[in-house]
Every structure is written in structure tokens, then in C-alpha cells.
Structure 1
Amino acid sequence: MNCKGVIVAIILLLGACTPEPKTTKEDTGNLDSLFVAFYDFQKKINPIEATKAGIDTFNDTIVNYISDSHQEYLRESYISFLSELEKYPMSELTKEDALSARVMEWDCRMKLEGLNNSIVTMASPIYNLPSFELMPLFQIQSLHLYVAQLAGGTSVQPFVTQEDYANWQHRLEDYLQFLDTSMEHMREGMEKEIVLPKVLTLKMLPQIKAFLDVPLEENLFYQPVLNFPETIDEDVRASLKSDYERMITEKILPKYQELHQFLEQEYLPACRDTDGLSALPNGRETYNYLIRLHTTTKMTAEDIHALGKQEVERITGEMEKVKEELGFKGELKDFFIEVRNKKELMPFNDPAEVLEHFNGIHERLSLELDSVFNLRPKAGFHVKRTEAFREASASAEYVPGSKDAKRPGTFYVPIPNAKSYNVVHDEALFLHEALFLHEAIPGHHYQLSLQQENKKLPEFLHPENMGVFVEGWALYAESLGKELGLYEDPYQYFGMLSMEMHRAIRLVVDTGIHAMGWTREEAIAYSLAHEAESEEGIIAEVERYMATPGQALSYKMGQLKILELRNKAKMELGPKFDIREFHDQVLGYGSLPLMLLEEKINSWIASYK
């Protein structure tokens, strides 16, 4: 169906749901239909997210989300949904429906504002992050990296049936079209001087080159036909192998060769030497929008910058206490080096030992979960080593299981070198307990699994789509270590402080780069002065902030709001306060903008009083 046809279909569907002025049971059903229509729309515009959720309807599709026709479709659709929402006065809805409607309204308004911006386009298929119309590719969290992850056959893209293998081929055809559009838009960006920093483009070149310099059998796009399930017949296997070889040699590799040549010979010479978004036309206004989008607050860059420095100072004081407890006599910066190079914190000889250590943390905290949580997800959970092709530059991450809980959630751990794990990688041993709490349990695995398993929620609230809540909860989860029987080792508690410091520094550095005129080098120097991170890790992080402005603010802003609400509830409820009930309230309604979360918790407190 063409773009206009889809718009007409949605308008017809929404038009059939028009309610009477007063809300009745029948009207609630109509509102439910609107929620269903909005979720169907979300799946269509982000089919990879649908695949992640275990929905196979769109497994053969990648949306060319930077195309002009798609952006116009989005713009008209969001306007239409907002128009329909106006037919349901919030005061006449149930508390639950009103909250859902307000989340939907917030999402539509923010996305519409982004579409009307001259730099931002809309959420890409990667973690629902905003993308840039004229800068669609970058060195981290970019579609070309995520497609490579799917291509290996061990991620969320299914390779079980012959249809699955065919679906992936169709999806790759869409991907190739996206790469063509990307190069067209990047050439337009060169004319308008809206281009990436040169240092980021340099990081992309080896990523693309890696696919051109390996034999066919080692190419990630060929791996699915080297690992057929037993259910696929031999004659079908032979045919699929031939199809995949032809697809790779005649389409994928030539396109990657074209992309590499474009980036190296055309784009790189036109790239800018500046680092922040404010150096671009309309850049500061765009960054202000991204702050609102990622934090769901009205705080300014200056406010967040000052808050970040305040948090850095507070956490530094806590780190000093741990240093003194351990009897270290030097400066805190020297203690960072001591921790990073301490032999006792490098006990691993092979990757299996690293995974076993994380599983041990899981077993220990499981003994205390009932004292802190009522809610438990149905989805299973396992720890897995990050795939080799992206391990060297990857961070630990969580990938949710499917909505039906048949596919477990996965905590991916990169282990490029187990013996020097503590020195060269940012997921060092002294960070393990806090890292597990954040990425796994009770962080992302609990929150995201409970969200998509909650049948009381409209389905549009099931996906991972509100970073300030998702990441804010995960950072808050790190603070629960002592309540869950962890952080008995001072080094592990120092690790928690280190991870919190890392997120506090982000408030300073992200705003510094994009609003205060900081250079990449100034941001690196500030980070090195205040945390135990390796220089290699800090450089990668700073370049991440350069590529995804504002996203790094979400962690700390969300955590601080949850801590604020917990302290308020504890103070006002006194002996009636139950941490398990508080967590029920936070986790029981999916991801919320912070102002709606605050209203919800305040209402819960008032119900007791």
C-alpha cells in the first residue's frame, strides 16, 4: 500500500471509533480501539521492534525511516491520532485509561515536534532513538551495526523455517534501499554543512571494511546458512545457500564497497572539525528539543549541567570514604589506577569464568528478591557472551525476551580478553555486581519483561520506548545492591559508585559538548579526572555522546526522580511505607514520562493518607 493509502486506512479506522460526548463502556471500547490502532501503527513504523517482541508479521521489512514519503506519513499520522484523542476528555476517563491516553498524547506531540525540526527526523529502528535526516549513519547504535547483529542468526531475527530465511532476504532488500537513501541524504547534508564530526566518520570506515575483507564463509550475512535447524531439508538448504551467496556477493558486498568509498573519498573530506550539535544550523534549538525528549522534563542544558556537577561532587565524597576504608593513602585519581590494575581484580583465565561469575551474582541476589519485590516476570533469563564481530567495541547490554516469554531475556557480556578484563574493558570485575543489577535483575530484565507481559496495559505501552524511565529504573536498581545482599566487598560498592559517577559525568559532558562549546578533548579530560574508567572506554563514551545528543542524560535524570519519589513516600507514609509496594507502583504501568510517574506516585501516597 502506498503512503497515502495507509494514511486513509488509519483515518477510516479511527473514524469508526468516534465516541459520544459522555464516556460509557461502549466508548471505552472505542478508546481501546484507538490504542490498538496506535500500536498497529507503531509496529508498522518500527518492524524491528515488533520482531524483538516476538511478533513475526513484519520480519521481512525494514522501514526506510529517513525517506521523505515516510516522514510525511508519520507527520500526518501523528496529527490524526492527536485529533482522535481530543474526542476523549481526560476527566471522563478511568484513571488507567487517562494515564494511557496521556502517554500516547505525549509521544505523538514529541515525535511531531521532532518531525518539524530541520535536523532531527524521527525514531530509528535502534532503541527508538531519534535519527538525523542528513546524518543517518554513525559509529554506534546505527542501523548498519544492528543489521549486522541480526544477520549473524543468533539475535532476535528468527532463522527456524524456510520462510524465516526468505524473510531475512526481503528485509535485506529494504536495508539496501535505506543505504542508498542514506548516501543521498548525506550528500545533501554536505551541501547544507550538516555533517558528522570527522572523528566519528573515521570510526565507521573499519566497521564497513570488516565485511569486505573476510572470506564468504566468515561473513556474518552467510552465517545463517552455516547453521541450519534440523527441520530444514537438504535440498532446501542447498537452494538457500545458493540464494544467500548470490545476495552477499552480488548485492551486499558491492553496496558496502560503494558505501565505504563514499564515506572515505566524498564524505570524510567534507566532515566538520567541531564536536557539538550547537555548531550546526539550528543546532542549539535541536538540542533543547532532544533534552525534552530524552528527559521528559523542561530543564535547560544549563540546569542539567549544574546538577551534573553537583552529583559529581557528592559521589566523589562517597568514593573518598571507600578509599579510606580500604586504607589507600594517595589521591582518589591514584586509587582509580590502583583499582584498575589490582591483580586480585583480574582473576579470570577464560570467558567461561566471567559468565560463571555473573551467574553466581544472580544466585546470591535471588535469595533476597522477595524482601524487595512482589512482581516477578514470567520470561526466563540467561547470560551470554557478546558476538565476536562486535565484542571489541561493545558494552554489556540486555536484549528482552519475547512477549510470550518463550524466548528468554539475554544479558550480553563482551569478553574480548578475559585475562586483562579489568584493564581494557569498561565491564571490569569491580563493576560486576552493579552491572548485573542494571542490565539484568532487577534492572532491565525485570522492568522490560514486566512491561510487555502486563496484559492490563494497552499494547502500545509494551515496547521499550521511554528511555528516561527504562534507563532511570536500571540505574536506580544499582542502588538496591545492599538490600539484595550484594556490595559486601568494598570494591564492589566502589564499582556501584563508579557506575553512578559515570552517569553523573554524562550530565556534565553531554551538555558541555552540545550546549557549552566543549571540545571532544575537554570532555575526555573531565571524565578522566573524575572516574576510574579506562581512557579507551572514555573516548568511546564521549564519541557516543557526540553521535547521540541528549540520550545519555536519561539515565541519571530518571534515577534521581525515582529516588526522590521513594524518599518522599517513605517520609510521608512513615511505618506504612513498604518498599515492595513502592516498586509495584513504579513497575506496574510500563514506561512513563517523569511528570506522569510523579503524579502516579503522589496519588498512591494520597490514597494511604
Structure 2
Amino acid sequence: MKKILLTAFVMASLMACNSNNNGQENTASNTDFAKTVDDYYEERLKLFPIEATYQGDNRYNDQLPNSNSQEFLDRTKNFYAESLKKLTAFDREKLPDQDKISYDILKRELELQLEQFTYHLEYVPFSQFEGLTLTFGQLGSGAGAQPFKTVKDYDDWLKRVSAFTVWGDSAIANFRKGMAVGIVWPKSLVVKMIPQMTDLVVTDATKSLFYGPITKLPGDFSEVDKNRLTSAYKIAILNEIVPTYKKLGDFLKNEYLPKARTTSGIDAVPKGLELYRYLVKTWTTTDKTPEEIYQTGLREVTRIRGEMEKVKAQVGFKGTLNEFFTHLKTDPKLYPYKQPKEVLDAFNAILARIEPNLKKMFTKTPKSKFEIRQTEKFREASASAEYNPASADGSRPGIFYVPIPDAKKFNVTSGMESLFLHEAIPGHHYQFSLQQENTDLPKFRRFSWYGAYGEGWALYCESLGKELGIYTDPYQYMGALSDEIHRAIRLVVDVAIHTKHMTREEAIKYMMDNEPIAEDGAVAEIERYMAIPAQALSYKIGALKIRELRTKYEAQLGDKFNLAAFHDEFLKDGCMPLDVLEHKMDAWAARQKE
């Protein structure tokens, strides 16, 4: 979920098929269409096998294509072009209603995918926030999506490792291509990327993050296999993984950093403004202009500050709102934790408090298991709290990762309750799990992703706190408001950084002036927006649309409005663009009137 462009092709259901569209004359065409779309999904997994691994599809766990190579880029571009050609060979008007929607969404997706090649995103193959360099550590640690249960699983990983060195060399080659044409990362991001490489350089293989699977060798492995794999992993770590990370770190420090740019926004690179508009369209699934989004952000910041003033008055604080922010960041009573376990226990307590009311707001809940874990040490210094979905087969739980570099610095007003609603339950865990568990959906719908829908849903879930029986403590409610204004601030600073020449430092100051966030937190956030432009817009744009729809249907349906039914309908068909969502939900509301 952390790519510059997340591929999402969703076939959405707007209405039940009209009976007169289900005639015999369309049966063959419909079958061919379904096969075409299914083939697209299957062929795409071969190009992006790590996505298959994260979905719990283990067929390609030994593969790691060199995604930086021109051969791979050409093959991928040709795949999208051929898929579009196959799709448009169908006569859209002769397809049933469901397939017409499928046609429209897939056509949109393929056209967007083809457009990305114009901007040479391969010239910045990874950043401090996302990329294979970070994903590789998660996969190889033995605690991530890559399975380590059978001898074949262990051998599969060794094959992926053997391809990592080639990937690293080509990443450096592509960074150099970017340097030659002025497509480079800002210096402030490169400084953060360097230790992410060097921290994984060890001289003792047993001290490596990548030795984790060997410490968990299954007891039923033969001694021969145990000894062979232990030796092979030590060799792979010292001869392939460590040299690759060292080479990347040395390159970034000695060659790339001096050529990195001092500007903050993507508008500073060739075709930067066009790229930003493209990413806005991709992430928000709307045709809103950056300026429209910027103005919405300013209005929301003003509105939420007004709510914060009410909380300040409620707790009897006599200073200004900004002085209240300082109080929230510095009062020792708001830093009660000493050990990471205490923080994790507090999140588990939130789950216990909301469980009784969840039953009133959701009829359908996931079968997938759920866990709360501390973010791995190698990446938690620059990581945000996040959710990693469960595998579709239930073998891996959904995981809510919480970075806790220092438990003593974990502030209870940091929005713990709202963070849980967003990243865990009923936010991402419900949305991802219900989508994947619905085997009535074809796979291209079960595993799709649109940020405006998925992140919009998670942010909307934050607004359910009082209905779920939390936010009773004014400081926790202040945390929720802080989280909400944080997403509104994103609309302002993301657009301003990338289209209005707002600097990194100006954006950090704006954020700290409008929410009680520590400076290191603001720095990490602003640098995230610099690394993945427009992604942060999807949250608030999506949440505003969902709240708008709920309000509309409450007014239209009156006593016939059922919140659990609204939530169930929203989630049951999986991710989709916001315009498709609104049509689908309008059709649902019409049925409720009958």
C-alpha cells in the first residue's frame, strides 16, 4: 500500500443486472469478457510476484523480477497496451450492465497505467518511505508475508535473494539516469535513506535481520536440511544481501546525495506539474484540481480548529490553542508508558471497549484473525503506524503495526483511539478482510485497492468514535481531532509543496502550528508527502465523500435508514473509484425506499 502508483482494477456492482440484458445473445460475449479480465489478473501477478505473496498466493514466492530494467518496463507497458486492446475489442453496448461497469473501470485503469511511463518513475526506484529495499527486509525477516514453513519456502527465499543483487545494481543505474535529467530526490529524503541501507550491513550473519527464518526453523525439518539451510542463509546474507545494501548505501552517500535537489516539490523536476496532476487523479479517483483540494483543506483546518477550541475550554486551559498544543506535547502526565508492551496493551484495551457497539454498527464482520505488533526495529524510526492485510487463505493474520522507538515518548493524546479505529478495527481490518473473504467476487475485485475508498473508509471510521463508546476522555477526543486536522492539513501542504513552492521547512511549521505534533513527527510526515506525492490527499477526499453519502441517505430515508446496512453495503463489493461508489450506494438507497 505504499507505492507511488498502486494498481487497482475494480469491477464494481452498481445495480442488479437488468433482466433484458441477460439474454442468450450475450452469454458467449459475457463469458469471453469474464475470461479476458481474469486472464489480465493472472498475467499481472506474474509481472508483480511480490503482490501475489502479500495476497497469500505462493506460486511465485521464488521470483523477483528486475523491475528497474528496460526489458521489464517494456514488457509491462506492452502488457497494459495489449490488455487495453483486448478490452476495447468488446462492444461495450452489448455487454450486461455489470460488465459495462467492469469495462469502464478497467479501461480507466489501463489508460492510467500506460500514462505513468511518460514520467519515468523508474528513475527514483525507492525512497525512505517505500520500495523494495524496505519490503525486502520485511519479507526476509521471517515475520512478514513471505512464508517459512516448508523446506521449499526456505529455498524459495534463497532464489529471491539471488535476484536482489541484480535489482540493486539496476536501481543504482536508474538513479544515475535520473541524475542526468534532473529527476532526483530531495536531499532531506536521501539523508534518511542512507542509514536504512547501512543499518542492514553486518559482519556476523547471525546478527542480521535476514537470519530470522533460521532462528525459527521448523522442528520437523531433517538435520540435513537444517544444516544446509543454515549454511546457505549465512552465505546469502554475507555474500549477496549485505554487499547489496552496502553498495546502495555507499552510492547514496558518495554519489547521489551531492546531486540531490534542495527543492521540496515534484514541480521542480521535468514534467513535475503534469505528474502531480496525474497522481492527484490516480489517488483521489476524482477530477478535482489541486487548487480545489487546497481550498477544501483550508476550510477544513479552520472548522476543526474551532472544535479544538471547545475541547480546550472544556478542560479549563486558559492559554491560546497553540499554547494548548505545547501543553499536550510537554505535560509529563500525558506520557505514562515505560515499556512497549504497555503501549500495545493500551491498544488492546481500546478493542475491548468498542466490541459491544461494533455489533450494532456492522452485521458482517471478518473471519480473518487480527494482531497488534510493534513495528520492526530496522524500520520503525521512520515508519508510521500501519495495517498489513491478512492473507486471503487465513494463514496470516491482519497486523496493526505500531512504531514505538521509545515508549517513554509515546503520548496518550496522540490519537490512540482514533488511530486504532483507522488502522485496525473497524477501519482497514474490516475493509480489507471482508473484501478478500468474499469469494463471490472475482479475484481482480478481491485484491484491488483505491486509496480514496480504502483510506477514506478508514478516516471515516475515526469519526465513529463516540458512537462506538470511546472519545469520552476530552484528551482522547482532542487526539481524534488532531488526527482529523492532520488529514486536512495534508490537503494544504501536499498541494502547496508540489504546486506552490512551499518548502519542507514551511510545511513542517504549518503542520506544527495547526496540530499538537512533535517536530520529529511533523518531519516524518512532510517527508512522506515529498516521497509519495498526492497519496496523502486520498484520506480526506474519500472520507468527506462517505460522510456526504451517509448524510444524504439519512435525510432521504429517515426511519428507513439503517447504519449497519449502510456500512455493510459500503464494504461488501470492495474498493472502487468514488464516482462508481456513489452510483452503487444511490442504487442501494433507492432499494431501501421500496
Interval of TM-score (by shorter of Structure 1 and Structure 2):
over 0.9
Q: Who is 2:373 aligned against?
A: 384
Q: Who is 1:52 aligned against?
A: 54
Out of 533, 552, 566, which is 1:582 matched to? 566
CA distance in 2 between counterparts of 1:587 and 1:464 reads 13
CA distance in 1 between counterparts of 2:98 and 2:335 reads 50
CA distance in 1 between counterparts of 2:511 and 2:72 reads 39
Comparing 544-553 and 599-608, the one that deviates more: 599-608
Comparing 240-249 and 40-49, the one that deviates more: 40-49
- Pairing 1:174–2:156 present: no
CA distance in 1 between counterparts of 2:330 and 2:90 reads 60
CA distance in 2 between counterparts of 1:468 and 1:23 reads 37
CA distance in 1 between counterparts of 2:423 and 2:399 reads 9
Q: Who is 1:510 aligned against?
A: 494
- Maintained 8 Å contact 2:80/2:110: yes
Out of 60, 63, 74, which is 1:61 matched to? 63
- Pairing 1:84–2:80 present: no
| Residues 145-160 of structure 1 mapped to structure 2, 5 A cutoff | 145-160=134-149
| Residues 550-565 of structure 1 mapped to structure 2, 5 A cutoff | 550-565=534-549
Q: Who is 1:591 aligned against?
A: 575
CA distance in 1 between counterparts of 2:47 and 2:433 reads 22
Q: Deviations over 1:120-173 (max 9, x none)?
A: xxxxxxxxxxxx211112111121011111111111111111111111111122
- Maintained 8 Å contact 1:430/1:491: no
Q: Who is 2:226 aligned against?
A: 237
Q: Who is 1:495 aligned against?
A: 479
Q: What amino acid is aligned across from residue 517 of structure 2 in structure 1?
A: E
TM-score, reference length from structure 2: 0.93
Q: Who is 2:132 aligned against?
A: 143
Q: Who is 1:12 aligned against?
A: none
CA distance in 2 between counterparts of 1:574 and 1:95 reads 30
Q: What amino acid is aligned across from residue 329 of structure 1 in structure 2?
A: K
**What is the deviation of 1:507?**
0.6
Q: Structure 1's 232 and 259: CA in aligned 2 closer, same or farther, altered over 3 A?
A: same
Q: What amino acid is aligned across from residue 333 of structure 2 in structure 1?
A: E
| Residues 97-176 of structure 1 mapped to structure 2, 5 A cutoff | 97-115=99-117, 117-119=118-120, 132-176=121-165
CA distance in 2 between counterparts of 1:146 and 1:194 reads 23
Out of 312, 325, 330, which is 2:314 matched to? 325
CA distance in 2 between counterparts of 1:596 and 1:437 reads 25
Q: What amino acid is aligned across from residue 409 of structure 2 in structure 1?
A: S
Q: Deviations over 1:391-449 (max 9, x none)?
A: 22222111111112232111112222222212xxxxx4541110110001000000000
- Maintained 8 Å contact 1:472/1:557: yes
Comparing 100-109 and 135-144, the one that deviates more: 100-109
Q: What amino acid is aligned across from residue 308 of structure 1 in structure 2?
A: G
Q: What amino acid is aligned across from residue 456 of structure 2 in structure 1?
A: G
Q: Who is 2:41 aligned against?
A: 39
Out of 221, 226, 249, which is 1:260 matched to? 249
Q: Who is 1:358 aligned against?
A: 347
Q: Deviations over 1:186-205 (max 9, x none)?
A: 11111112111111111111
Q: Deviations over 1:191-245 (max 9, x none)?
A: 1121111111111111111122563211112221122111212221111111111
Q: Structure 1's 406 and 325: CA in aligned 2 closer, same or farther, altered over 3 A?
A: same
- Maintained 8 Å contact 1:528/1:538: yes
**What is the deviation of 1:340?**
2.0
Out of 281, 290, 301, which is 1:292 matched to? 281
**What is the deviation of 1:258?**
1.9
Q: Which has the higher contact order (CA 8 A, sep 6+)?
A: 2
**What is the deviation of 1:23?**
5.2
- Maintained 8 Å contact 1:345/1:430: no
**What is the deviation of 1:89?**
4.5
- Maintained 8 Å contact 1:100/1:458: no
Q: What amino acid is aligned across from residue 208 of structure 1 in structure 2?
A: M
Q: Structure 1's 499 and 214: CA in aligned 2 closer, same or farther, altered over 3 A?
A: farther
CA distance in 2 between counterparts of 1:170 and 1:65 reads 16
Please, which runs of 5 or more residues in structure 2 have no aligned partner?
1-21
CA distance in 2 between counterparts of 1:148 and 1:193 reads 29
- Pairing 1:225–2:214 present: yes
**What is the deviation of 1:22?**
7.5
Q: Deviations over 1:18-50 (max 9, x none)?
A: xx9985334332222122112102312221121
**What is the deviation of 1:178?**
1.6
Q: Who is 1:124 aligned against?
A: none
Q: What amino acid is aligned across from residue 489 of structure 2 in structure 1?
A: I
- Maintained 8 Å contact 1:60/1:169: yes
CA distance in 2 between counterparts of 1:562 and 1:89 reads 33
Out of 280, 296, 303, which is 1:307 matched to? 296
- Maintained 8 Å contact 2:29/2:95: no
CA distance in 1 between counterparts of 2:331 and 2:91 reads 61
CA distance in 1 between counterparts of 2:544 and 2:156 reads 43
Q: Structure 1's 317 and 415: CA in aligned 2 closer, same or farther, altered over 3 A?
A: same
**What is the deviation of 1:520?**
0.7
Q: Structure 1's 93 and 241: CA in aligned 2 closer, same or farther, altered over 3 A?
A: same
Please, which runs of 5 or more residues in structure 1 have no aligned partner?
1-19, 120-131, 423-427
Comparing 340-349 and 301-310, the one that deviates more: 340-349
Q: What amino acid is aligned across from residue 556 of structure 1 in structure 2?
A: K
**What is the deviation of 1:538?**
0.3
Q: What amino acid is aligned across from residue 232 of structure 2 in structure 1?
A: D
**What is the deviation of 1:90?**
4.6
Q: What amino acid is aligned across from residue 573 of structure 1 in structure 2?
A: L
- Maintained 8 Å contact 1:22/1:92: no
Q: Deviations over 1:537-562 (max 9, x none)?
A: 00011111111111111111111111
CA distance in 2 between counterparts of 1:214 and 1:312 reads 50
CA distance in 2 between counterparts of 1:186 and 1:413 reads 31
CA distance in 2 between counterparts of 1:379 and 1:536 reads 35
| Residues 426-445 of structure 1 mapped to structure 2, 5 A cutoff | 428-445=412-429
**What is the deviation of 1:94?**
4.1
Comparing 474-483 and 243-252, the one that deviates more: 243-252
Q: What amino acid is aligned across from residue 157 of structure 1 in structure 2?
A: Q
Q: What amino acid is aligned across from residue 106 of structure 2 in structure 1?
A: M
Q: Who is 2:5 aligned against?
A: none
**What is the deviation of 1:601?**
1.4
CA distance in 1 between counterparts of 2:336 and 2:203 reads 34
CA distance in 2 between counterparts of 1:320 and 1:369 reads 30
Q: What amino acid is aligned across from residue 285 of structure 2 in structure 1?
A: T
Comparing 151-160 and 400-409, the one that deviates more: 400-409
Q: Structure 1's 102 and 256: CA in aligned 2 closer, same or farther, altered over 3 A?
A: same
CA distance in 1 between counterparts of 2:431 and 2:456 reads 11
CA distance in 2 between counterparts of 1:93 and 1:347 reads 61
TM-score, reference length from structure 1: 0.91
Q: Structure 1's 213 and 458: CA in aligned 2 closer, same or farther, altered over 3 A?
A: same
- Maintained 8 Å contact 2:26/2:94: no
- Pairing 1:342–2:331 present: yes
**What is the deviation of 1:296?**
0.8
- Pairing 1:28–2:17 present: no
CA distance in 1 between counterparts of 2:587 and 2:96 reads 14
Comparing 73-82 and 53-62, the one that deviates more: 73-82
- Maintained 8 Å contact 2:203/2:238: no
**What is the deviation of 1:56?**
0.3
Q: Who is 2:432 aligned against?
A: 448
Q: Deviations over 1:429-477 (max 9, x none)?
A: 5411101100010000000001111122110112252111111110011
Q: Deviations over 1:535-588 (max 9, x none)?
A: 000001111111111111111111111111111111111221111111122111
Q: What amino acid is aligned across from residue 119 of structure 2 in structure 1?
A: S
Q: Structure 1's 93 and 487: CA in aligned 2 closer, same or farther, altered over 3 A?
A: farther
- Maintained 8 Å contact 1:136/1:186: yes
Q: Who is 2:15 aligned against?
A: none
